[in-house]
Amino acid sequence: MNGTGTRARSGLLNLLPLAALVCFLWWAPANLDGYKLRVINLIAINAILGLSLNLIYGMAGMFSLGHAGFMAIGAYVSALLILTPEQKVTMWILEPIAPWLLNLHTPFIVSLVLAGLAAAFVGWLIALPVLRLGGDYLGIATLGFAEIIRILIVNLTPLTNGSLGLKGIPAHTDLWMSYGCFLVILVFVARLMGGNFGNVLRAVRDDEVAARTMGIDTFRVRTLAFTLGCFGAGIGGALMGNLITTIDPKMFMITQTYNLLMIVVVGGLGSITGSVIGSVLVTTMLEWLRFVENPITLGSLHIPGIPGMRMVLFSVLLIAIIIFRREGIMGTREFSWNWFFPPKNAPRALPDEGGRGR
Amino acid sequence: MKKFLLAVCVVLLAAGVSFGADVIRIGVVATVTGQNAFGGQLELEGMQLANKIYPEALGKKIELVVVDNKSDKVESATAASRLIENDKVAALIGPYGSGPTMAAGEVAEVAGIPLMGTACTNPLVTEGKKYIFRACFIDPFQGEAAANYAYKNLGYKKAAVLTDVASDYAVGLASFFKANFAKLGGAIVADLKYQSGDTDFTSQLTEIIGKEPDVLFIPAYFAEGAIIMKQGFELGAKFRFMGGDAMDNPEIVTLGGEAVEGFLHTTFAYDPTMPEMNAEAKAFTEAWKQEYPGKESNANAAMGYDSYVLLYQAILSAGKAEPQAIRDALENMKNVATVTGLTSFSAESHDPVKDAGIVEIKDGKKSYIYTINP
C-alpha cells in the first residue's frame, strides 16, 4: 500500500473514535451524574491546556511557566463579557465598575473567541522581548510575566473586581462545548505538526543555529508557536471559568501551571497523544485516589481516613513514572493506526511525526 | 504477590464505598491540606465533636462525609459535586474561606442542596443564593465592629491600614474598617498594601511609623500577620496592632512572644477564655477539653461546631432529612442557641446577625475582653 492509501485509510479510521465520542457525548448527560460529568469536562479542559502548553514547551522547546497567567486573561475576558450589567453592579462592592465595561455584553461563543484572542495578543506582546531568551531564563521570565498579569488583575479593581473575584458566571461549559473546543484544537495542532510548520518547529527546537543556517526565521517561528499556545490557554481558561462559574486571581497561581506541566511531562514532551493521555490520567487519578482518604473498616480493623493521603500516593505515582519512563508515557511518539495495521511493503517508513530519535 | 495486591485493592475499594440505609449523610468540603489547613483542621474537629455529641436525628445516624479541597477553588467545586452525586448527602458544610465556599456554593445551588458556610465572611457568598447559608457574621459588620471599638472604646483618632491586596477577605474587611472609622470622625493616616506570601514589611512599617497612628489595622491571615507584628516590634512601633477573625490562633503567644503583647483582634463571639459563656459555649468548651486534651480550641473550631448544630436543628425541625425541607427549615430558623450566639435566618437574609468578640493578648495570655452587639 502506498503512502496516500495509508493516509486515506487513517482518515477513515479516525472517523471511528470520533463517532464513538459523539455517541458518548450524546449518551453521557442523561446517564452520568453531575460529578462524573464535571470530571469528564475537566479532562477536556486540561487536555486543551496541556496541548497548548505542549505546543510551546514540548514542540517548540520553549520552557514557559506562564500558562496560568494566560488562562487568567482568558477566564476574565470571557467572564466580563457574558456577565449581565445587573450582576456586575451587585458584585463590585468595593469600587464601582468602569462605566464602559458595565454594559458590555456578548454571547458566549463571541466571548470565548475574544478570550483566546486576548490571551494570544498579550502572549504575542510578551513574546517579543522574552523569546530572545532561552532555556531556564525563559522559564523565569514567563513566570514573572504570569505573576504580573495576576497582580494587575488583583489591583485593577474597577475592571476585574480585584481579589474579590467574579461569581455567577453562566455555566456555558457543557460536554459539547468543551469537547468541541478540544477537538478543534486537537485537529489544528495535529495538522500543524504534521505539515511543514511542524518540521520547521522541530528543527528550531532541536538545533536553532542549524535551523537558522537553513534560512528559517527562528524568532518568527517561535513567536508564532508561543502566540498559538497562549490562544489555547485563553480558551482553556474561559472554559474553566464557565465550568466553575466563579473565578478569582488566586485560581491562577503558579500551582496551576505546575499542574499543566505535570500533564505535559507525564504524557510526553512533544507528543500530542501524550498530552491527551496525561490529562486523562492526572485528572481522573486525583479524583479516583480519594478513596484512600475515606475511613476504612476491614473486619474489626478500623482505619480512620487520613486527609491528604491521595496527594502522597499521587506523588509516588509521578515519581515512578519519571523513574521508569523519563521521557513520559508516550515520549515524542504519536498514536498511529499503523500500530494496528502495519504497512505491508513500506519497511519501517518514517512516521508522520518524527521524534527526537531517542 | 500480584494477586494478593489485587485482592487488597479490591477490598479497599469495596470498603471505601460502604453504604448504609438508615443514615443521614452530611457532606463536609474540608480544608485540611494546603495554605488554609490550620483553620480548616480546627473547623473539621469542631464538626466532628458536634457529630459525636449529636450523633442521631429522627432516629437515624448522622454521618459526616469528609472530602478535602486542598484550599483550592476548582477542587472545592469538584468535591461538592462528588459529595452531592456520589455520596448523596442531604446537606453540605462549606470549606474554609470565602473563595472556595463560593465555588462549592455554585454547585450546591444548582443541585438544590443546602450549604452551610463556616467562616466565609465575604458578603458575596450568599448574595442572590437560595440554598447557601452561613454560620458567621459578614465583613461589613466586622469592619464596623473593629472601627467602633478602636474609636469609641479605646479613643483612637488616627488609624493606619496595611492590606493584603491579593486576599478577598483582607480587601473587604479593610475597606469596611476604613469607611466606618472615617464616618465616626477618625483619620486614616496611612493606607498601604502588600501581597500574600510577602515576608518583608519593613518599608511599609517604617512609613506607617512615620505617620504616627494610634492603631494599625491588619486584616491579615495569621502567617503574614505574625511577621508584620514581629517586624513592627523590632522597628520600635509605638502604635497598637489590631486584626480580624483570621488572626485567631490558639498558638499566637507561643509563636509571637512579646511582639504580640497588646494585640487586639475581632473574632466570632467565642473563645475558651471568655468570662461569661452561654450554655452552648460552656458545653462546647467542656466537650472539647475531653475530646482533644492538650489542644486549645478557638473560634474556628466553634464555627465548625455551630455549622453542624445549625444543620442538625434544621433537620429536627424539618422532620425529614431531605435537602429541600432542610433548606426551608433553615430559612425559617429563629434564635437557635449556638456557641457563638443566637442564630436566625430569614428569606431576605441568609447571613445571621451575630455578636463579634474582641480578644486581647495581655500579659502573655490570650483573653476575650469584650462583646460587640450588632
Q: What is the CA radius of gyration of chain A?
A: 22
Query: CB within 8 A of A117, min separation 6: which ones?
Result: A231, A234
Whether the CB-CB separation of A86 and A219 falls below 8 Å is answered with no
Nearest to B73 among A34, A94, A248 (CB): A248
**Contact status of B166 with chain A (Cβ, < 8 Å):** yes
- Whether B148 and B257 map to the same domain: the answer is yes
In chain A, residues with a C-beta closer than 8 Å to the C-beta of B172 are 93-94, 164
What's the half-sphere exposure (Cβ side, CA atoms, 13 Å) at B111?
A: 28
- Whether B116 and B152 map to the same domain: the answer is no
Nearest to B74 among A244, A291, A308 (CB): A244
- Whether B132 and B145 map to the same domain: the answer is no
**Which residues of A have a CB under 8 Å from any CB of B?**
33-36, 38-39, 42, 90-91, 93-94, 151, 154-155, 162-165, 167-168, 171, 240, 243-251, 255, 287, 290-294, 296-298, 305, 307-308, 311
* Residue A219 belongs to domain with CATH number: 1.10.3470
Q: What is the pLDDT of residues B181-196, one digit of tens each?
A: 999 999 999 999 998 8
Q: What is the pLDDT of residues B21-66, one digit of tens each?
A: 589 999 999 998 888 888 899 999 999 999 999 999 999 999 999 9
- Whether B321 and B257 map to the same domain: the answer is no
Q: What pLDDT score was predicted for residue B29?
A: 95
Alpha carbon distances (Å) from A162 to A152, A153, B175, B193, B195: 9, 6, 13, 13, 12
- A52 found inside a domain: yes
Q: What is the pLDDT of residues B220-259, one digit of tens each?
A: 888 889 899 999 999 999 999 999 988 888 888 888 888 8
Q: What is the pLDDT of residues A2-49, one digit of tens each?
A: 556 677 777 788 888 899 999 999 999 888 888 999 999 999 999 999
The arithmetic mean of pLDDT across residues B297-326, rounded, is: 93
- Chain B: nearest CA to A149, how far in angstroms? 13
Domain that holds residue B129: 24-138+281-355
If one counts the domains in chain B, the total is 2
- B203 found inside a domain: yes
Whether the CB-CB separation of B209 and B234 falls below 8 Å is answered with no
Domain that holds residue A103: 11-253
- B6 found inside a domain: no
- B3 found inside a domain: no
- B265 found inside a domain: yes
- B8 found inside a domain: no
- Whether B58 and B126 map to the same domain: the answer is yes
Which residue of chain B has the CA closest to A291? Answer: B16
Nearest to A91 among B85, B124, B195 (CB): B124
- B2 found inside a domain: no
Q: What is the pLDDT of residues A225-238, one digit of tens each?
A: 999 999 999 999 99
Residue to test with chain A: of B195, B198, B221, B351, most A Cβ within 10 A: B195
If one counts the domains in chain A, the total is 1
Here the ipTM equals 0.78
What sign for the dihedral angle of Cα A158, A163, A166, A167? negative
Residue A159, Cβ density class (10 Å: 0-12 exposed, 13-18 middle, ≥19 buried): middle
Q: SS in 3 state form for chain B?
A: CHHHHHHHHHHHHHHHCCCCCCEEEEEEEECCCCCCHHHHHHHHHHHHHHHHHCCEECCEEEEEEEEECCCCHHHHHHHHHHHHHCCCCCEEECCCCHHHHHHHHHHHHHHCCCEEECCCCCHHHCCCCCCEEECCCCHHHHHHHHHHHHHHHCCCCEEEEEEECCCHHHHHHHHHHHHHHHHHCCEEEEEEEECCCCCCCHHHHHHHHHHCCCEEEECCCHHHHHHHHHHHHHCCCCCEEEECHHHCCCCHHHHHHHHHCCCEEEEECCCCCCCCCCHHHHHHHHHHHHHCCCCCCCHHHHHHHHHHHHHHHHHHHHCCCCHHHHHHHHHCCCCEEECCEEECCCCCCCCCCCCEEEEEEECCEEEEEEEECC
- Chain B: nearest CA to A165, how far in angstroms? 8
